């Protein structure tokens, strides 16, 4: 069954209201490795229950529409679907506790051609339920490897910038642990390829892999710590392409190039020297 452009483009998502508390913010930070150095006072601001700071990429875990692409009405070969890119623009500081309203829609369906797959972009607008203040816009790019060639589609999102050729301005190391994938599941992504060896093998991996959004959050942690450690509200946007999986226990090596208010970056699985996040770009605003 081939995908239908009009049906996919006009797919309706239910509006969601979710509440997260300080405990959820702390758990999210812990799953990214915050608190691994008990003497790091800056990092403790994210895992201590008084005057808690939220890691802004927490909103990547809140209000997502779930496994909607598995609906058989859409005709998507979802087993071959990959998370291609993830982009967040922040409109206001992310609170450590809030009720939020999420509104998701399909904004782009891109036909790359027969045998080349398709791209689908879902855009999620997140509002603080108190006053409907915009908090963030999330663009989730899915790569449908088996669904190209339907003959109609949209233009893709503007391309993310390629990695600079110069030596990086900063090289930042963030450690995962063998338990990182099991812990990250506490944020709500229960895909079994991240915990069951048998399911990981069916997906083509010799062991469970780390969630892509955990790698994403770890890279954000590295850049926030380097450029604005106790002012996470200065992170105005964070976008990246997923290039290769990370295995729990590996170290993430984040290489960064800063120009004005923009930081380009990539991340590698340090022990294997394999690029796992590419075309990264983060917007860093001035301190208030």
Say whether both 41 and 145 belong to one domain: yes
With a cut of 80, say whether residue 274 has pLDDT above it: yes
What band does 1 get if pLDDT is binned at 50, 70 and 90? low
Say whether both 48 and 130 belong to one domain: yes
With a cut of 80, say whether residue 288 has pLDDT above it: no
Would residue 211 show up in a list of annotated catalytic residues for this protein? Answer: no
Is there a contact between 132 and 144 (Cβ–Cβ < 8 Å)?
no
Say whether both 118 and 233 belong to one domain: no
User: By mean pLDDT, which of 44-48, 82-86, 153-157, 257-261 is the weakest?
Assistant: 153-157
Please tell me the predicted confidence (pLDDT) of residue 28. 98
Q: Of 128, 156, 184, at which residue does a domain stop?
A: 156
- Mean pLDDT to the nearest integer, 196-203: 89
Candidates 3, 126, 209, 284; catalytic one: 209
- Mean pLDDT to the nearest integer, 272-280: 98
Say whether both 139 and 180 belong to one domain: no
Candidates 194, 217, 279, 284; catalytic one: 194
- Mean pLDDT to the nearest integer, 63-74: 87
Say whether both 169 and 109 belong to one domain: no
What percent of the chain is predicted at pLDDT more than 70?
99
Please tell me the predicted confidence (pLDDT) of residue 148. 75
Say whether both 99 and 143 belong to one domain: yes
Q: Of 105, 134, 156, at which residue does a domain stop?
A: 156
What band does 13 get if pLDDT is binned at 50, 70 and 90? very high
What are 128-183's pLDDT values in tens digits? 999 899 999 999 999 988 777 688 788 889 999 999 999 999 999 999 999 999 99
Quote the CA–CA distance of 97 and 54 in Å, as a whole number: 8
Candidates 33, 63, 212, 280; catalytic one: 212
- Mean pLDDT to the nearest integer, 3-29: 94
With a cut of 80, say whether residue 272 has pLDDT above it: yes
- Mean pLDDT to the nearest integer, 235-249: 97
Please tell me the predicted confidence (pLDDT) of residue 153. 83
Write the DSSP assignment of the chain as a string of letters. Answer: ----HHHHHT-----EEEEE-HHHHHHHHHHTTTTSSTT-HHHHTTTSSSSPPPPGGGGGGSS---SGGG-GGG---GGGEEEEEEEEEESSPPPSSEEEEEEEEEEEEEE--TTT-EEEEEEEEEEETTTTEEEEEEEEEEEETT----S---PPPPPPPPPPSSPPSEEEEEE--TTHHHHHGGGS---GGGT-HHHHHHTT-SS----HHHHHHHHHHHHHHHH-TT-GGGEEEEEEEE-S---TTPEEEEEEEEETTEEEEEEEETTTTEEEEEEEEEEEPPP-
Say whether both 124 and 224 belong to one domain: no
Candidates 189, 195, 226, 285; catalytic one: 189
Quote the CA–CA distance of 237 and 244 in Å, as a whole number: 22
Please tell me the predicted confidence (pLDDT) of residue 281. 98
- Mean pLDDT to the nearest integer, 39-50: 97
Would residue 194 show up in a list of annotated catalytic residues for this protein? Answer: yes
What band does 185 get if pLDDT is binned at 50, 70 and 90? very high
Would you state the structure tokens that stand for residue 35, as one six-digit string? 């608190």
Say whether both 35 and 146 belong to one domain: yes
Domain span holding position 119: 1-156
Would residue 212 show up in a list of annotated catalytic residues for this protein? Answer: yes
CATH code for the domain of 80? 3.10.129.10
- Mean pLDDT to the nearest integer, 248-254: 98
Would residue 50 show up in a list of annotated catalytic residues for this protein? Answer: no
Kindly list the distances between the CA atom of residue 145 and the CA atoms of 80, 82, 93, 115, 249, in Å, as whole numbers in the listed order.
6, 7, 36, 8, 29
Quote the CA–CA distance of 46 and 25 in Å, as a whole number: 8
Say whether both 32 and 75 belong to one domain: yes
Give how many domains the chain has, as a whole number.
2
The mean predicted confidence, pLDDT, of the chain is: 93
Under 8 Å CB-to-CB from 257, ≥6 apart: which residues? 164, 166, 168, 169, 263, 264, 265
């Amino acid at each position: 069954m081939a995908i239908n452009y009009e049906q996919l483009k006009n797919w309706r998502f239910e509006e969601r209201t979710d509440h997260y508390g300080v405990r959820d913010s702390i758990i999210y930070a812990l799953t990214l490795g915050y608190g691994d150095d008990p003497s790091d006072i800056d990092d403790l601001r994210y895992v201590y229950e008084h005057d808690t700071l939220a890691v802004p990429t927490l909103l990547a875990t809140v209000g997502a529409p779930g496994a909607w692409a598995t609906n058989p009405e859409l005709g998507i070969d979802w087993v071959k679907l990959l998370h291609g890119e993830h982009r967040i623009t922040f409109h206001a500081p992310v609170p450590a506790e809030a009720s939020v309203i999420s509104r998701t829609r399909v904004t782009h369906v891109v036909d790359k051609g027969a045998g080349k797959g398709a791209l689908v972009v879902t855009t999620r607008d997140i509002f603080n339920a108190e006053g409907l203040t915009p908090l963030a816009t999330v663009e989730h790019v899915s790569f449908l490897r088996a669904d190209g060639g339907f003959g109609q589609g949209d233009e893709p999102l503007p391309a993310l910038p390629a990695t600079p050729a110069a030596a990086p301005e900063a090289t930042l190391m963030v450690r995962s642990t063998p338990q990182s994938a099991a812990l990250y599941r506490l944020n709500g992504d229960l895909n079994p390829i991240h915990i069951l060896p048998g399911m990981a093998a069916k997906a083509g991996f010799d062991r469970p892999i780390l969630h892509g959004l955990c790698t994403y959050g770890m890279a954000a942690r590295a850049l926030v710590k380097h450029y604005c450690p106790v002012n996470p509200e200065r992170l105005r946007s964070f976008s990246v392409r997923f290039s290769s999986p990370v295995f729990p226990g590996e170290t993430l090596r984040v290489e960064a190039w800063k120009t004005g208010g923009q930081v380009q970056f990539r991340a590698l699985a340090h022990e294997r020297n394999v690029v796992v996040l590419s075309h990264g770009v983060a917007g860093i605003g001035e301190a208030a």
